[in-house]
């Protein structure tokens, strides 16, 4: 396995949208490395030709009819009730570059 | 022209919002354009609240299969939803539920007058919220509205089979027409319920012979009219060819079309690092369809515009061009069909009726129940006015001649401009008349 | 204490007016006032007046055919959303979050007439085996408050052991119900995946997460499961399979084949824990059940596979916490949260997904086959819950690997989906509880209850209480 360097850690943190300080990156890199290295035991299992399992229920076609469920819908006030910042019924985020 | 040395290689991605009653993964109202206020059609699921779980809308799945059938696709009997990860404030869960390696439909074909376009895949996903960029108390911010969040969105992806801007436009128009005929979406490009993206690159003539594909691809987004698609591709062809002539490889990037400046421009990518980390959504059991079910959906397809045009020509003798124009008006296809049949039963010339409608000589309100009588009466009146008019016209012209002998003399002296006087005088007597008809009649009578 | 009684005895006592729901609620609050300050089991405590008002109402409205949970006080792990009641998942990210909707399990318990009195502390987002990794401080073990309670559902186990409630709802992704049950001397069930709706359960790893009952004894867990099990239209992964009538099954004394995999009693497992399993084996044998020795070599890979899939899913599930619609920013995640998010992001990223995520999903198929093979030879497996006793506070923090190894025997059931019940089966020389677990095939909860009930009729481990709980 490739060693998880500070650079890789920084890249992963960026992908995961985690704001990390250089100190944190230095701290996490060896920890991630040890866990990932441990999990590499799994590559000893012979998985060639084995199908993947991503769900265990065996369920299929569990769908809903196209019906509006008003009772589950939030009022605008409810929708916004946990937001730190709102304006005229909108959630507010720092300006994104306009395209 | 630099573009002569290169061939266009272009594939198109079309996104269509389905007009189901409820959203893709929850029971919220699906009407983002009709919403009077922001954030009024939301619930735990489409707001991505902690602990909320999606459940897929059956109708949206059926409609996607319908689209697949209409575009000649194979329908995958096993399909599933996957999570596509990226961070953006209009994407509430930090991932979009989409389809990765097992889309609902694959391998279709759409014919255009400029050549066939193969469909790679059609998959079903959820739309994002909407961002509004604004200043609030002097601070530049972005506002987020989740009314559109999780509205069912179908993506239709083609192979790079498009070789001219005209073909791109024809393809887009055709998809638009078919989607409208299927009654699954408004496909309104201006509002954004149908959105277009073109992947454009240029291949050197020599490369083509050797089968070498371009090493780059420029994605042009936000093409919200058929004309823009054509123009953006034209612009890109020229821009890329110019770079290639200078031995530069155009940058692989996403660009937008600026209609005011008539050019494409580089857009900042949403995610600076694209690694979507797809995996099957554990919250949504996969879909498995029987062949019978899929075939039944095919049988239930409404008649597509191409078939309508052909049938109208064959059954009612309507001219091809008129049929094409009228078949485009999907909303009135059924009423037109009834009109043609009734007209045919009453021995009315349906071809003529169609032409009159196309040329707006007859204007009918198809919204009212008596539209058939209205249309046929209008046609009768129009036709009778034209035949009877000849007697009336001759009488009127005779009156004018009798009252204005000088004009007759002038005309005979080759002062042909006097014909205008006759047209004016006849109009005074009969009201609005066809000037050509008057001219012909006067010329005939004074010959 | 009234709350020493089983749920069926409590239900009977209420109907016979030997005591009231108000008495029970008062007893809970006495315990909370006395102990929560030290043990830190609850993050949110429902105001006493509110709980008492509910109890008074219950006392008035109790009918003979009411749910056995009617008027009984309970605690929810703080990973279940409760409308109008702060829900944190023990994370600063959600420290002010007041949900606008209810989890299905909460709705069902409200309908049964049970009385919510608190939201229990846990490892933030379920990430941990010690309940120390909480932004609200570590949960401490009532048997020795220098030790951890186990996790992630530590607060619930402590609340049951100290009689702060009659029962609790935990959540198990890789041992989160079973591990604290073992270390606190209580009984807890990881249900078959899909048996109980996950709607409103704050997701850790969606394809592993299960919502399950925790209480003093197996019979209690059966009563609670009866109230919360069943298909839910809001959770597409919930099972439409009919729910057994567990109470009817409890009385069955069918002779069963109990399997013991030799890999679960090998090196690295505390000898006192091995002894407890051996003793339990003898107890079951004495009841006429057959013991089958078998080998399940794949179990040794459980933690490795778990630590590829669970972090992958959690990196996705925690992506929604961006501070826009609710909660604070992503900088507020704990070290352990960030580590797991990053491990998962790595395991799913281009170039590594095949080696990590996809390979682990294939290994999962092998686990399913391994268990299928075992269940062709036996009806139920008996194995330890943890390889060691409750560690001292701080021992597992920043030791991600040791933390992971605490889950050695609890991480293979979740990828397979099968149920497993942890129950008290002894004490260490230092007086710390030891748990064993009974693992069965999909939807075999009724069989696990049956066996555990027989065991608890014969033993008294589940009746012992930490010092000072009187």
Chain A with chain B: Cβ pairs closer than 8 A? 139
Sheet holding B115-126, edge to edge: B74-75, B105-112, B115-126, B152-158, B6-17, B194-204, B218-223, B253-258, B263-266
Residue in chain A nearest B88 by alpha carbon: A96
The ipTM assigned to this model is 0.96
Window 43-62 of B, Cβ < 8 Å to A: 43-44, 47, 55-61
Q: What is the pLDDT of residues B42-75, one digit of tens each?
A: 999 999 999 999 999 999 999 999 999 999 999 9
pLDDT at position A2 over 70: no
- Work out the average pLDDT over C344-362: 96
- The answer to whether B161 and B11 are in contact (CB under 8 A) is yes
pLDDT at position B395 over 70: yes
What does the block give as tokens for C448?
A: 């696990």
Is position A92 within any domain?
Answer: no
What does the block give as tokens for C76?
A: 């929810």
Is position A53 within any domain?
Answer: no
B388-404 in b/e form (b: 16+ CB < 10 A) is ebeeebeebbeebbeee
CATH of the domain at A31: 1.10.20
Q: What is the pLDDT of residues C414-428, one digit of tens each?
A: 999 999 999 999 999
Contacts of B373 (CB under 8 A, 6+ apart): none
Q: Is residue C389 classed as helix, strand or coil in its secondary structure?
A: coil
Domain co-membership, B256 together with B311: no
Superfamily of domain C2-463 in the CATH hierarchy? Amidase signature (AS) domain (3.90.1300.10)
Q: Any idea which of B381-390, C107-116, C298-307 has the lowest mean pLDDT? A: B381-390
Domain co-membership, B375 together with B285: no
Domain co-membership, B282 together with B313: no
Domain co-membership, B79 together with B212: yes
Window 343-402 of B, Cβ < 8 Å to A: none
The residue ranking higher by pLDDT, B359 or B251, is: B251
Q: Any idea of the CA torsion for C262, C264, C268, C270, to the nearest 10 degrees?
A: -110
Is position A94 within any domain?
Answer: no
When scoring C363, C369, C408 by the number of chain A Cβ atoms within 10 A, the one with the most, hence best to mutate, is: C363
Residue-range definition of the domain harbouring residue A15: 6-44
Q: Is residue C84 classed as helix, strand or coil in its secondary structure?
A: coil
What does the block give as tokens for B188?
A: 């309104």
Residue-range definition of the domain harbouring residue B16: 2-296
- The answer to whether C115 and C45 are in contact (CB under 8 A) is no
The Cα diameter of chain A in Å comes to 58
- Work out the average pLDDT over A66-85: 98
- The answer to whether B279 and B82 are in contact (CB under 8 A) is yes
Closest residue by Cα to residue C339 from B16, A94, B385, A18: A18
CA-CA distance, A77 to B51, in Å (whole number)? 20
- Work out the average pLDDT over B170-189: 95
- The answer to whether B75 and B130 are in contact (CB under 8 A) is no
Among B296, B323, B340, the domain boundary falls at B296
Average model confidence (pLDDT) across chain B: 90
Q: What is the pLDDT of residues B191-216, one digit of tens each?
A: 999 999 999 999 988 887 888 889 89
CA-CA distance, C360 to C28, in Å (whole number)? 44
Closest residue by Cα to residue B243 from B428, B6, B12: B6
Helix (H) or strand (E) holding B165: helix B165-181
For chain B, what percent of residues have pLDDT higher than 90? 64
The residues pairing with B125 across neighbouring beta strands, listed in sequence order, are B153
- Work out the average pLDDT over C331-335: 96
Domain co-membership, B257 together with B331: no
Whether omega before B27 lies within 30 degrees of 0, making that bond cis, reads: no
- Show residues of chain B in contact with C199, CB under 8 Å: 51-53
Helix (H) or strand (E) holding C119: strand C115-120
Q: Which of the given ranges, B255-259, B389-393, B403-407, C401-405, has the highest pLDDT on average? A: B255-259
Q: What is the pLDDT of residues C66-111, one digit of tens each?
A: 999 999 999 999 999 999 999 999 999 999 999 999 999 999 999 9
Is position A49 within any domain?
Answer: no
Q: What is the pLDDT of residue B1?
A: 53
Q: How many domains are there within chain A?
A: 1
Q: Cβ contact (<8 Å) for B279 and C324?
A: no
DSSP assignment of C433-460: EEEEEEE-STT-HHHHHHHHHHHHHH--
What are the domain boundaries of chain C? Answer: 2-463
Q: Any idea which of B431-435, C336-340, C344-348 has the lowest mean pLDDT? A: B431-435
Among B296, B327, B362, the domain boundary falls at B296
- Work out the average pLDDT over C148-168: 97
pLDDT at position B437 over 80: no
- Work out the average pLDDT over A16-44: 93
Closest residue to B51, CB basis, from C201, C313, C348: C201
Closest residue by Cα to residue C93 from C136, C128, C138, C29: C136
Q: What is the pLDDT of residues C271-294, one digit of tens each?
A: 999 999 999 999 999 999 999 999
How many angstroms separate the CA of residue C317 from the nearest CA in chain B?
Answer: 8
What does the block give as tokens for B78?
A: 């096993």
Cα dist from B221 to B145, B279, C434, whole Å: 21, 26, 62
Q: Is residue C30 classed as helix, strand or coil in its secondary structure?
A: helix
How many angstroms separate the CA of residue C32 from the nearest CA in chain A?
Answer: 29
The residue from C21, C91, C134, C176 that is catalytic is C176
Domain co-membership, B269 together with B338: no
Cα dist from B101 to B11, B134, B278, C161, C427, whole Å: 19, 38, 9, 49, 52
Backbone conformation region of residue B107, classed left if phi is above 0, alpha if psi is from -120 to 50, else beta: left
- Work out the average pLDDT over B110-138: 96
Strands (E), C157-294: 167-172, 187-190, 210-215, 257-261, 290-294
- Work out the average pLDDT over C207-214: 98
For chain B, what percent of residues have pLDDT higher than 70? 94
Helix-strand-coil split of chain C, %, nearest 5: 45, 15, 40
The residue ranking higher by pLDDT, B397 or B287, is: B287
Domain co-membership, B107 together with B195: yes
- The answer to whether C312 and C357 are in contact (CB under 8 A) is yes
Q: How many domains are there within chain B?
A: 2
- The answer to whether B112 and B71 are in contact (CB under 8 A) is no
Q: Any idea which of A73-82, B4-13, B342-351 has the lowest mean pLDDT? A: B342-351
Q: What is the pLDDT of residue B372?
A: 77
- Work out the average pLDDT over C143-164: 97
CA-CA distance, C277 to C291, in Å (whole number)? 12
pLDDT at position B433 over 70: no
How many angstroms separate the CA of residue A35 from the nearest CA in chain B?
Answer: 20
Is position A58 within any domain?
Answer: no
Q: Cβ contact (<8 Å) for C234 and B51?
A: no
Tell me how long chain C is. 470
CA-CA distance, C194 to B415, in Å (whole number)? 97
Among B296, B330, B345, the domain boundary falls at B296
What does the block give as tokens for A1?
A: 């396995």
Question: How deeply is C288 buried, as exposed, middle or buried, from its count of CB atoms within 10 A (0-12, 13-18, 19+)?
Answer: exposed
How many angstroms separate the CA of residue C69 from the nearest CA in chain B?
Answer: 25
Closest residue by Cα to residue C228 from C106, C81, C75, C85: C106
- Show residues of chain B in contact with C201, CB under 8 Å: 51
What does the block give as tokens for C21?
A: 């729901």
CA-CA distance, B362 to B372, in Å (whole number)? 12
Strands C380-384 and C257-261: parallel
Q: What is the pLDDT of residue B108?
A: 98
Q: Please check whether residue A34 touches C, CB under 8 A.
A: yes
CA-CA distance, B426 to B294, in Å (whole number)? 67
Is position A28 within any domain?
Answer: yes
The separation between CA B287 and the C-alpha centre of its own chain, rounded to angstroms, equals: 30
Q: Please check whether residue B92 touches C, CB under 8 A.
A: yes
Q: What is the pLDDT of residue B381?
A: 67
- Work out the average pLDDT over B5-22: 96
| pTM, 2 dp | 0.91
Q: What is the pLDDT of residue A99?
A: 44
Band (B273; pLDDT cuts 50, 70, 90): low
Window 287-306 of B, Cβ < 8 Å to A: 287-288
Helix (H) or strand (E) holding C302: helix C302-317
Q: Cβ contact (<8 Å) for B280 and A90?
A: no
Average model confidence (pLDDT) across chain C: 97
When scoring B50, B93, B128 by the number of chain C Cβ atoms within 10 A, the one with the most, hence best to mutate, is: B50
């Amino acid at each position: 396995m490739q060693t998880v360097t500070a650079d890789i850690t920084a890249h992963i943190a960026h992908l995961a949208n985690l704001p990390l300080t250089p100190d944190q990156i230095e701290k996490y890199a060896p920890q991630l490395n040890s866990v990932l290295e441990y999990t590499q035991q799994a590559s000893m299992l012979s998985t060639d030709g084995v199908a993947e399992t991503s769900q265990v229920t065996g369920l299929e076609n569990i769908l809903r009819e196209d019906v509006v469920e008003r009772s589950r819908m939030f009022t605008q006030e409810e929708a916004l009730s946990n937001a730190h910042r709102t304006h005229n019924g909108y959630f507010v985020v720092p300006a994104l570059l306009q395209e | 022209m630099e573009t002569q040395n290169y061939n266009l290689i272009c594939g198109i991605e079309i996104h269509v919002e389905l007009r189901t009653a409820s959203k893709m993964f929850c029971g919220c109202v699906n009407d983002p354009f009709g919403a009077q206020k922001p954030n009024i059609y939301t619930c735990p699921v489409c707001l991505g609240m902690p602990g909320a779980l999606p459940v897929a809308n059956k109708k949206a799945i059926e409609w996607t299969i319908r689209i697949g059938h209409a575009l000649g696709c194979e329908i995958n009997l096993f399909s599933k939803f996957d999570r596509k990860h990226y961070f953006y404030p209009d994407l509430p869960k930090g991932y979009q539920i989409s389809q990765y390696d097992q889309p609902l439909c694959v391998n279709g074909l759409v014919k255009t007058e400029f050549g066939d376009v193969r469909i790679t895949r059609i998959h079903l996903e959820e739309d994002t919220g909407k961002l509004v960029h604004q200043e609030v108390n002097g601070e530049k911010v972005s506002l987020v509205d989740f009314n559109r969040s999780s509205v069912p969105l179908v993506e239709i992806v083609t192979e790079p089979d498009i070789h001219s801007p005209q073909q791109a436009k024809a393809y887009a128009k055709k998809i638009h027409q078919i989607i409208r005929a299927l009654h699954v979406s408004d496909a309104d490009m201006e509002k954004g319920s149908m959105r277009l993206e073109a992947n454009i690159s240029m291949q050197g003539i020599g490369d083509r012979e050797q089968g070498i594909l371009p090493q780059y691809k420029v994605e042009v987004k936000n093409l919200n009219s058929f004309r823009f698609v054509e123009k953006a591709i034209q612009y890109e062809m020229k821009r890329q060819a110019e770079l290639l002539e200078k031995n530069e490889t155009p940058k692989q990037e996403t660009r937008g079309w600026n209609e005011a400046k008539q050019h494409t421009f580089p857009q900042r990518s949403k995610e600076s690092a694209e690694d979507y980390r797809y995996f099957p959504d554990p919250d949504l059991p996969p879909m498995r369809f029987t062949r019978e079910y899929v075939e039944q959906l095919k049988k239930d397809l409404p008649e597509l515009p191409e078939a309508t045009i052909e049938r109208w020509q064959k059954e009612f003798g309507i001219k091809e061009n008129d049929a094409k124009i009228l078949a485009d008006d999907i909303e009135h296809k059924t009423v037109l069909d009834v009109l043609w049949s009734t007209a045919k039963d009453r021995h009315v010339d349906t071809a003529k009726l169609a032409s009159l409608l196309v040329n707006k000589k007859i204007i009918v309100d198809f919204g009212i129940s008596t539209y058939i009588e209205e249309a046929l009466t209008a046609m009768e009146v129009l036709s009778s006015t034209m035949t009877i008019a000849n007697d009336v016209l001759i009488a009127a012209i005779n009156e004018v001649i009798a009252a204005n002998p000088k004009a007759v003399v002038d005309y005979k002296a080759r002062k042909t401009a006097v014909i205008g006087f006759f047209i004016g005088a006849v109009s005074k007597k009969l009201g609005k008349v066809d000037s050509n008809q008057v001219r012909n009649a006067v010329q005939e009578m004074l010959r | 204490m009234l709350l020493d009684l089983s749920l069926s005895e409590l239900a009977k006592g209420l109907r016979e007016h030997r005591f009231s729901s108000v008495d029970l609620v008062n007893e809970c609050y006495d315990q909370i006032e006395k102990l929560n300050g030290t043990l830190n089991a609850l993050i949110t405590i429902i105001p006493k007046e509110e709980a008492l008002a509910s109890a008074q109402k219950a006392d008035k409205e109790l009918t003979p055919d009411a749910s056995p949970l009617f008027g009984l006080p309970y605690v929810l792990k703080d990973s279940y959303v409760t409308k109008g009641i702060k829900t944190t998942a023990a994370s600063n990210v959600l420290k002010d979050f007041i949900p606008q909707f209810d989890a299905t399990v909460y709705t069902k318990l409200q309908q049964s007439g049970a009385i919510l009195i608190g939201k229990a502390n846990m490892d933030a987002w379920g990430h941990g085996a010690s309940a120390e990794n909480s932004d609200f401080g570590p949960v401490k073990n009532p048997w020795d408050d220098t030790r951890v309670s186990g996790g992630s559902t530590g607060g619930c186990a402590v609340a049951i052991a100290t009689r702060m409630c009659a029962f609790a709802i935990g959540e198990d992704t890789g041992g989160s119900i079973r591990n604290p049950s073992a270390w606190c001397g209580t009984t807890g069930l990881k249900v078959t995946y899909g048996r109980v709706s996950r709607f409103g359960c704050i997701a850790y790893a969606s394809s592993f997460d299960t919502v399950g009952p925790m209480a003093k004894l197996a019979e209690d867990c059966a009563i609670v499961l009866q109230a919360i099990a069943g298909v839910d239209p809001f959770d597409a992964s919930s099972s439409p399979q009919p729910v057994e009538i567990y109470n009817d099954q409890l009385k069955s004394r069918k002779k069963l084949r109990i399997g013991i995999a030799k890999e679960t009693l090998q090196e690295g497992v505390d000898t006192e824990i091995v002894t407890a399993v051996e003793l339990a084996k003898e107890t079951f044998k004495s009841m006429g059940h057959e013991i089958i020795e078998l080998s399940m070599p794949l179990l040794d890979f459980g933690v490795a596979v778990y630590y590829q899939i669970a972090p992958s899913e959690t990196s996705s599930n925690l992506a929604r916490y961006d501070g826009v619609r609710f909660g604070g920013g992503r900088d507020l995640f704990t070290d352990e949260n960030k580590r797991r998010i990053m491990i998962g992001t790595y395991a799913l990223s281009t170039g590594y997904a095949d080696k990590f995520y996809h390979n682990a999903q294939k290994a999962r198929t092998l686990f399913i086959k391994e268990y299928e093979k075992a269940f062709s030879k036996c009806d139920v497996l008996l194995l330890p819950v943890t390889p060691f006793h409750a560690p001292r506070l701080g021992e597992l923090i920043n030791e991600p690997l040791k933390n992971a190894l605490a889950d050695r025997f609890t991480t293979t059931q979740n990828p397979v989906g099968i149920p497993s019940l942890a129950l008290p089966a002894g004490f260490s020389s230092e007086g710390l509880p030891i748990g064993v677990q009974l693992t069965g095939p999909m939807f075999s909860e009724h069989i696990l209850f049956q066996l555990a009930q027989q065991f608890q009729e014969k033993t008294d481990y589940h009746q012992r209480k930490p010092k000072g709980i009187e």
